[in-house]
């Protein structure tokens, strides 16, 4: 990943090469409602798409779903083949689904390539930034109704333009995504990364501090902190992506990939990950894991233990419980069977006991 630059800068830098061959332009589908809260993202996509259209030849692909599918990837590749493009640049602009689709297409087109100039990602949301920087690419398996991640070894240039960046509100107690949800989600992943690699370094503590700062601001309803909160989360996302590149899939990610499409389909990935924070903290704390990270979090609070802090901050910052998010009323056994099926597909059964414990504790809160 390169340093964050405006997309226009990256385009101008590589203009001769871009003009020599058509590129594949992957964008988020704009909202039908012009008053949509996603209008800033829409403006970002349209502005940069127009810029690109005037300078280089492009093959447009849009996505309006929460996740790309293998069929969507195949359809886009068919367009590329019809255009006679064999090794063109892939440009992703917009939210998380566009980033995942662009990454999946680049992996198919540039097998074995490590050239970051082959893939340019311009996220316009925090979810987009997370997807762009993540070592995983999420694809929805419509048959199994699961998210099957692909680990990406390729590099990408990531563009960032604050003018067009669309951010969720700092907190919300209604349906919808908030920055508090994002902070809780990142912290949940971080805690389990610390468990899997058995270390808590300064980078981890920095991510934890950023997330805790945002959660505290959300808990006190400090709306004046929104801009700073966005910067904290951006930094946390980028740092966490580096940490995850050396770690295996975490328990929260396993539960999300296995259960979100079927049982929590109306919820953002960040919201679902964030609702596991108290349950994960209780599980890890009861097993004496991640003590160093716990200390760095508790230094900023008046709570005696990590679980009490997680329960309190989740309630005050508007993080919903897992039970309140469920579509229908699935029982624990049904959910665990789905997780087992996912693990079988992924050929990984590590930490089965901890997974079931985190799920049960999260559902009971």
- Using the 3D structure, point to which of 106, 135, 164 is the last residue of a domain: 164
Do 191 and 336 lie in one domain? The reply is yes
Say yes or no: 193 and 108 in one domain: no
On whether both 353 and 328 belong to a single domain, the answer is: yes
Whether residue 205 lies inside any domain: the answer is: yes
* Residue 2 placed within a domain: no
Residue 258 and residue 300 share a domain: yes
Q: How far apart are CA 165 and CA 151, in angstroms?
A: 26
Establish how many alpha carbons lie within 13 A of residue 8's alpha carbon, considering only the half-sphere containing its beta carbon.
Answer: 10
Q: Are residues 185 and 288 in the same domain?
A: yes
Do 235 and 155 lie in a common domain? no
Tell me the three state secondary structure of residue 93.
strand
Query: Considering 129, 164, 199, which residue would you say is the last residue of a domain?
Result: 164
Is there a domain that residue 273 lies in? Answer: yes
Give the tens place of pLDDT for each residue, 28-65.
876 555 445 555 555 555 655 655 655 677 888 989 89
Q: How much is the average pLDDT of 101-123? A: 82
Residue 145, pLDDT score: 94
Q: Look-up: residue for tokens 């830098």? A: 13
Total number of domains constituting the chain: 2
The verdict on residue 28 lying in a domain is yes
- Whether pLDDT at 79 is above 80: yes
149-205 pLDDT tens trace: 988 766 788 988 776 677 889 998 888 899 999 999 999 999 999 888 776 688 888
Question: Containing domain of residue 125, as a range?
Answer: 7-164
The answer to whether residue 169 sits within a structural domain is no
Q: Alpha-carbon distance 207 to 347, whole Å? A: 30
Where a domain ends, among 113, 136, 164?
164
Q: What is the CATH number of the domain that holds 31?
A: 3.40.50.1970
Q: Is residue 174 part of a domain?
A: no
pLDDT band at 113 (very low <50, low <70, confident <90, very high): low
| One domain for residues 261 and 296 | yes
Query: Is 193 among the domain residues?
Result: yes
Please give the pLDDT value at position 221: 93
Residue 278, judged by CB atoms within 10 A of its CB (0-12, 13-18, 19+), counts as buried
Print the SS3 string covering 108-163.
Answer: HHCCCCCCHHHEEEEECCHHHHHHHHCCEEEEEECCCCEEEEEECCCCCEEECCHH
Are 183 and 109 in the same domain? no
* Residues 91 and 199 both lie in one domain: no
* Closest to 158 in 3D by CA, of 241, 219, 215, 224: 241
Tokens of 194: 């610390």
Same domain, 188 and 295: yes
If you search the block for the tokens 């997330």, which residue do you land on? 211
């Amino acid at each position: 990943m390169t340093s964050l630059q405006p997309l226009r800068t990256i385009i101008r830098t590589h203009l001769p090469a871009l003009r020599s061959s058509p590129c594949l332009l992957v964008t988020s589908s704009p909202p039908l409602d012009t008053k949509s809260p996603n209008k800033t993202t829409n403006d970002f996509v349209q502005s940069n798409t127009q810029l690109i259209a005037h300078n280089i030849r492009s093959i447009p692909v849009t996505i309006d779903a929460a996740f790309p599918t293998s069929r969507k990837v195949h359809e886009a590749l068919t367009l590329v083949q019809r255009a006679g493009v064999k090794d063109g640049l892939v440009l992703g602009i917009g939210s998380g689904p566009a980033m995942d689709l662009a990454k999946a297409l680049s992996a198919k087109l540039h097998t074995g390539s490590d050239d970051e100039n082959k893939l340019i990602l311009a996220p316009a949301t925090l979810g987009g930034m997370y997807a762009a920087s993540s070592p995983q690419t999420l694809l929805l398996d419509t048959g199994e109704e699961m998210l099957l991640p692909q680990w990406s070894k390729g590099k990408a240039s990531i563009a960032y333009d604050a003018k067009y960046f669309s951010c969720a509100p700092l907190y919300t107690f209604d349906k919808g995504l908030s920055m508090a949800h994002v902070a809780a989600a990142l912290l949940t992943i971080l805690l389990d990364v610390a468990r899997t690699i058995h270390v808590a370094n300064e980078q981890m503590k920095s991510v934890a501090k950023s997330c805790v700062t945002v959660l505290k601001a959300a808990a006190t309803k400090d709306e004046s902190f929104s801009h700073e909160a966005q910067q904290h989360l951006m930094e946390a996302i980028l740092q966490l992506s580096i940490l995850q590149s050396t770690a295996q899939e975490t328990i929260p990610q396993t539960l999300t990939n296995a259960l979100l499409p079927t049982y929590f389909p109306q919820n953002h990935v960040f919201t679902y990950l964030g609702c596991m924070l108290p349950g994960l903290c209780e599980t890890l704390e009861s097993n004496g894991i991640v003590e160093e990270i716990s200390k760095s979090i508790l230094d900023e609070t008046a709570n005696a233990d990590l679980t009490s802090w997680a329960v309190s901050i989740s309630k005050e910052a508007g993080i919903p419980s897992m039970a309140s998010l469920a579509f229908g009323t699935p029982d624990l056994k049904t959910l665990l069977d789905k997780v087992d099926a996912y693990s079988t597909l992924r050929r990984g059964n590590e930490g089965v006991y901890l997974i079931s414990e985190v799920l049960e504790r999260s559902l009971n809160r």
